[in-house]
Amino acid sequence: MNTEINMRNVENGSRVVFLDWLRIIACFMVMLVHTCEPFYFDADGNTFFQSKDAAFWASWLDSLVHCCVPLFVMASSYLLFPVTRPTGEFFRRRLVRIFVPYVVWLCVYTAVWGEWARLPFNFPFAGGHLWFVYMLMGLYLLMPLLSPWAEKASEREVRGWLLLWLATTLFPFIRRFWLARFGAPEFGPTPFLWGEAPWNRFGAFYYVSGFFGYMLLGFYFRKFVPSLGWRRTLSLALPLWVVGMAIVWGFFYFRIPDAQGYPILRPYAFAMDLETSWEFCGFGIALMTVAYFLLIRKLDFSGGFYRRVVRPLSEASYGTYLLHMLILVPVVGCFRQHLPPAATMIAAAVATYVLASAAGVVLRRIPFVGRFIVG
């Protein structure tokens, strides 16, 4: 039986209050992930962790907030799925809100760092965070197609698909086990699962895996999960967070081969293997995402601080995300000269967030063109 959402808890007028809080929290999480990266590996891609201290704090802090992207996806789904507008109108709105600002900043990053030849095909290497926009646009293309089913689906049906999706979040670990136990398969270095092959990357579970699950999760929470009290929220969120963090951080940190000393010199493939538990659609990240979503959903504060600070920051959060790497790189370089690793990661993330958010808010208020720059 469908449950009614406690509207006092989530809405202020036409806005969903907790989603504004979620956007600014997830946006800061992104900054922290990216300020950890210079302590994780160097620009050459073959030098990892300059010290044991850097290894501990970079892995801990990054693991703590690595579910930032899934939280953004759940927020979008919570608001937009199932699609109730005509498909053409839905895509026009997404074009103005998401795609046009992306093109603006894609050109900015390319102008700063070059690689114009890549522009028609992908983002420039220096703008690596722009991958998120491609994924999000792919989900938007799916939403109108799946909306008729979502409008009629029962809670049991949706839960069944979510359980199937949750099983696919174990696939990164299954691939890792295959490599450890049997070595590389005959056709190449990556184990192929359930129909995958060099000539077919679309295995049996391809279409119910990936960020599709977070899209479904956002819809599931909106339609079927009522507002929970703090005791119930904590009883669900804390175990999920503890188990998820143990998987995400433990599987990463305790496989760092520090016996050889620091810095660690390894090929880039070493990082790809180390990051098995950091995959956004991995089991531990999924558990932590649900835990954070449950907790943030309780943030229903809609007073003066919300109206004057939280809402403007939330409205500019997409632009903040798009432009922040232009600020983060010099900020990290400055702090790194004077502070130890952990302090640099946190201080640089705070400074970047403040400066990037201020820039996003100011740009958004430019008459006529602000929305086309930052969304």
The whole-angstrom separation of Cα 208 and Cα 165 is 6
The whole-angstrom separation of Cα 155 and Cα 221 is 10
Closest CA to 37 of 22, 27, 50: 50
pLDDT tens, 132-154? 999 999 999 999 999 999 999 99
> Which residue ranges of the chain lie beneath pLDDT 70?
1-13, 43-45, 184-189, 259-260
264: three-class secondary structure by DSSP: strand
Q: What residues does each domain of the chain span?
A: 7-169+209-374
User: What confidence score (pLDDT) does residue 49 get?
Assistant: 84
Give the Cβ contact number of residue 216 at 10 Å. 22
User: What confidence score (pLDDT) does residue 212 get?
Assistant: 93
Closest CA to 295 of 67, 77, 105, 108: 67
pLDDT tens, 173-193? 998 888 777 776 666 667 888
Q: Is the dihedral of CA 203, 76, 81, 285 positive or negative?
A: positive
Q: Yes or no: say if 2 and 155 are a contact pair by the CB < 8 Å rule.
A: yes
- What string of DSSP letters covers 178-239? HHHHH-S-TT-SSPP-TT-BTTB---TTGGGSTTHHHHHHHHHHHHH-PPPPHHHHHHHHHH
User: What confidence score (pLDDT) does residue 43 get?
Assistant: 65
Q: Yes or no: say if 143 and 82 are a contact pair by the CB < 8 Å rule.
A: yes
Q: Is 180 exposed, middle or buried (0-12, 13-18, 19+ CB in 10 A)?
A: exposed
Q: Yes or no: say if 49 and 192 are a contact pair by the CB < 8 Å rule.
A: no
Give the Cβ contact number of residue 108 at 10 Å. 15
Q: CA angle, 33 as apex, 341 and 300 as ends, to 5°?
A: 120
Encode 142-159: b = buried (16+ Cβ within 10 Å), e = exposed: ebbebbeebeebeeeebe
User: What confidence score (pLDDT) does residue 187 get?
Assistant: 65
The whole-angstrom separation of Cα 268 and Cα 330 is 24
Q: CA angle, 116 as apex, 110 and 118 as ends, to 5°?
A: 100
